[in-house]
Chain A
Amino acid sequence: MTEIERHSYDVVVIGAGGAGLRAAIEARQQGKRTAVVCKSLFGKAHTVMAEGGAAAAMGNVNPSDNWQVHFRDTMRGGKFLNNWRMAELHAQEAPDRVWELEAWGALFDRTKDGKISQRNFGGHEYPRLAHVGDRTGLELIRTLQQRVVALQQEDDKLHGDPEAYIKVFQECTVTRLLKDGDAIAGAFGYWRETGNFICFEAPAVVLATGGIGKSYVVTSNSWEYTGDGHALALMAGAGLINMEFIQFHPTGMVWPPSVRGILVTESVRGDGGVLRNSEGKRFMFEYVPDVFKDKYATTEEEADRWYTDQANNRRPPELLPRDEVARAINSEVKAGRGTPHGGVYLDVSTRMPAEEIVRRLPSMHHQFKELADVDITREPMEVGPTCHYIMGGVEVDADTGAASVPGLFAAGEVSGGMHGSNRLGGNSLSDLLVFGRRAGAGAAAYVDGLTARPKAPEEAVRQAEAEALAPLEREGGENPYTVHHELQQTMNDLVGIIRKADEISEALGAIEKLKERAGVTGAAGGRIYNPGWHLAIDLRNMLLVSECVAKAALLREESRGGHTRDDFPGMSPEWRRKLLVCRLDGSTVNIEEKVQPSMRDDLITLFERDELKKYLTEAELSEYDALVEKEA
């Protein structure tokens, strides 16, 4: 038995991406002693890779924009499965969060008259994304990181210790949440650098760990995205919702293999890039679904006019929501009209002068030149769908980010509900800021309301320690990388963009077997910075999350947003009202159905009946009619 490093905080935030840092800043502002614990280095979190921008209805470029329009776009994008209260708060507060970021020093591209510029993006009715080139995530994370440092220097002056109220524990991985009875009491983890254990005693934990992409082979996500927060929440007794909805970003690089899955930002399409198949056809016109027919151009001429005259033309179909574009590309490739490497062509080279491409898409130009030896000013890119984002996550209270377990909070990608069945591009960075702040405030208020601090039993700490040490102590155990690769291939092949009942069942069988094998993986090489050991621990999380995804995908017998069932191709109004909640029972995931609460009167009447009838049941429509009649 080894010595365990111990700390005591009011709030422990797990994850240091946009949501985690914004939560930590808020908790510190509310006077709480706050720890930020993150797997990778401070300032290198996944948020850094976000390119397009933060969606906020500031109306800087088109004054017709406002929160109601943004709310409507978000609900449409999510096919009305969204937690409408989250979508409302998000649309209302995103502008304040962007302006706040600006006041802290963030730089944004500007309009000629010096306002924060906003760009077009798929599914957004007006130019709405505050951005800096195609590296908005980097600027966002840098600003929040430096805000933390600024607060630390303030605390140094006030308390003689920069880390008195906010301390970052970097390259530190949490493996278990600790509880006292029903309530959160802390977290247990290890330092990646030394392999030594660390235990946080804290009444409130904010999960901000991001997503689950590393369960798939082709993904834009980096190694950190192993579903840690999702799994920690499950194991602590919280419920996960919407786990069947995974966003496959339509335009990942497909070649060369070493960069397969890496994102090609949607701004390429927002700025005029078009999709063509191997026959040179601009195929997206064939794939505009009925629900979007009146909003998208039907001819190339109209689509092209839209870039310069948005008032009098409908948008190009390349700017449909991501799920639609991903499925269209998938169909083209399946029909034999794909590129040599199994994608389609995304072309800007014939659309604008070379200098303009380099100016507007500098990172993309650089990325293709450096990583694929393709000059996007001269030739088209080859792109295809890549696992990018999970809409599902911890079921939380919209206003506070509180999960069902007292003391547990979640924000950002690890939380569920905000994006419904499909997230719009640009709504992620704004989500992080809006709900990161709310979760930080929620956690602080929760701590204020406590009469006594919960305390984790020592037994739980020792169990967590034994669990973490197990792979190191297994001589000649199975290579964790092998198990990981098999899981990734299984999820990619059987629970990918297009799903079928028998394939999902096959995946569930495979996951069961992989769970057994993950239990006997071994890692040689000791405790100091040993990635094999770290992966052996992460496997538990990826398997749990994959089980949630597959089980929910099997149950939901309809197609909606990031969940497409070949055997149930239509959207069902009955299913729209249902949420599937995953919970852990022993070592098995169980799922229960839950009815989504009806939208508030003033929100539902923001929509026209014609639109609602595509989504709602007859009974819901009658309620809507009665409401409209009463107001008339």
Chain B
Amino acid sequence: MSAEPAMRAAETAGESIVLRVSRYLPGRDAEPVPRDYEVPLREEWSVLDGLNHVKDVLDGSLAYRWSCRMGICGSCGMTVNGEPRLTCGTFLSEFAPGPVVVEPLRGFAVIRDLVVDIEPFLGKLASVTPWLVRNGAEPPPDAEFAQTPEQLGAYKQFSMCINCMLCYSACPVYALDEDFLGPAAIALAQRYNLDSRDMGAAARFDVLAAAGGVWDCTYVGECSAACPKGVDPAGAIQQYKLTAAMETVRRFLLPKGAR
């Protein structure tokens, strides 16, 4: 419980709910401290609306990330009552009568309050060569590649990722080993591996099948359950395990020059 009484706006009338927000300011706090804020409980208010109310009315120093309010920028991921969620799409009423416990995404270093360090995550994404690899082959002369709707369908789902990091926060393997490449990065690799225009699968194999790659996944499936965009990173990982196993056998059997 919070030591201090909940902060509330003088004019708050009607129903309200307590947001129990993790506050942490390096240099001031030895560790994150929960702080209670009383915010209006309106049916249509998301947790993000509650946080904005705190910032605008009760305490302007509350730090958290957000941007689009429509579930596409992937900035507002936090831990809400223990689960990784996008706060713009999570409603206060789901947790009535409260309190609603809001903490930073687990698995990442906290910078202040609800803001976490995302650099390690960006590094993982960059490591899987997330662009079209053409190995010197030029695009077709008539300005664009041909790609049928069926070919597009093979990888489209894995392109829906909004880099919100909820899947890392949910992943029990990543919680134990921060070197694990992780769900979003592997799904991103598959987004290109399965793209009919791409020729980079061999290069990505060296990252995906290496230590920290797909074989570390124990297929708990929490990542796909947490994903707000239906990307199904667990499916991507399982799919690639099969590809990787075949590729390993192929590389073992074939002479080096023929690989």
Binding site for B on A (CB under 8 A): 40-44, 46, 48-49, 58, 95-96, 99, 102-105, 107, 109-110, 112-116, 132, 135, 137-139, 142-143, 146-147, 149-150, 152-153, 193, 222-224, 255-259, 262-263, 363, 366-367, 370-372, 479-481, 485, 523-526, 528-532, 535
Contacts and interface: CB of A to CB of B under 8 A. Distances in A.
Interface stretch (B111-119, B172-180, B238-246, B248-256): B111-119
B169 interface: no
Contact of A481 (B56, B122, B162, B195): B56
Contacts of B218: none
B146 interface: yes
Contact of B144 (A99, A112, A138): A99
Given A150-B131, A366-B71, A367-B71, A107 B145 contact: no
A114 B146 contact: yes
A107 B59 CA distance: 43
B122 A193 contact: no
A481 B54 CA distance: 11
Given A113-B146, A149-B126, A153-B126, A528 B25 contact: yes
Contacts of A479: 60
A112 B148 contact: yes
A153 B133 CA distance: 13
B26 interface: yes
Nearest to A482: B56
Contacts of B10: none
A524 B61 contact: yes
A523 B55 CA distance: 12
Contact of A42 (B49, B111, B122, B162): B122
A153 B46 CA distance: 40
Nearest to B86: A370
Contact of B73 (A58, A222, A523, A530): A222
Interface stretch (B30-38, B62-70, B209-217): B62-70
A107 B89 contact: no
Given A107-B152, A139-B159, A529 B63 contact: yes
B67 A40 contact: yes
Given A102-B145, A105-B195, A110-B148, A526 B61 contact: yes
- The interface residues of chain B, by DSSP majority, are classed as loop
A524 B62 CA distance: 11
B100 to A, nearest CB: 15
Nearest to B57: A481
B74 A146 contact: no
Contacts of B198: 105
Contacts of A103: 132, 139, 145
Contact of B89 (A41, A46, A370, A529): A370
A346 to B, nearest CB: 16
The 4 closest A-B pairs by CB, nearest first: A525-B61, A532-B60, A256-B44, A114-B146
B75 interface: yes
Contacts of B149: 109-110, 112
11 contacts: A40-B67, A105-B192, A107-B155, A110-B152, A153-B129, A222-B68, A524-B61, A525-B59, A530-B60, A531-B63, A532-B55
A41 B75 contact: yes
Nearest to B192: A105
Contact of B44 (A257, A528, A531): A257
Given A102-B144, A532-B60, A40 B44 contact: no
Nearest to A117: B149
Contacts of B139: 99, 102-103
B44 A258 contact: yes
- Tell which of A58, A258, A363 has the most Cβ of chain B within 10 Å: A258
B81 interface: no
B148 A114 contact: yes
A61 to B, nearest CB: 13
A115 B25 CA distance: 53
Contact of B60 (A115, A137, A525): A525
Given A149-B126, A526-B61, A95 B147 contact: no
Interface string B143-168: 11111110110011001101100000
A535 B163 CA distance: 26
B72 interface: yes
A530 B144 contact: no
A132 B119 CA distance: 28
A107 B156 contact: yes
Nearest to B26: A528
Interface string B186-216: 0000001001011000000000000000000
Given A153-B129, A222-B67, A528-B111, 11 more contacts: A40-B67, A44-B74, A48-B73, A102-B139, A110-B148, A149-B130, A256-B43, A258-B44, A479-B60, A528-B26, A528-B63
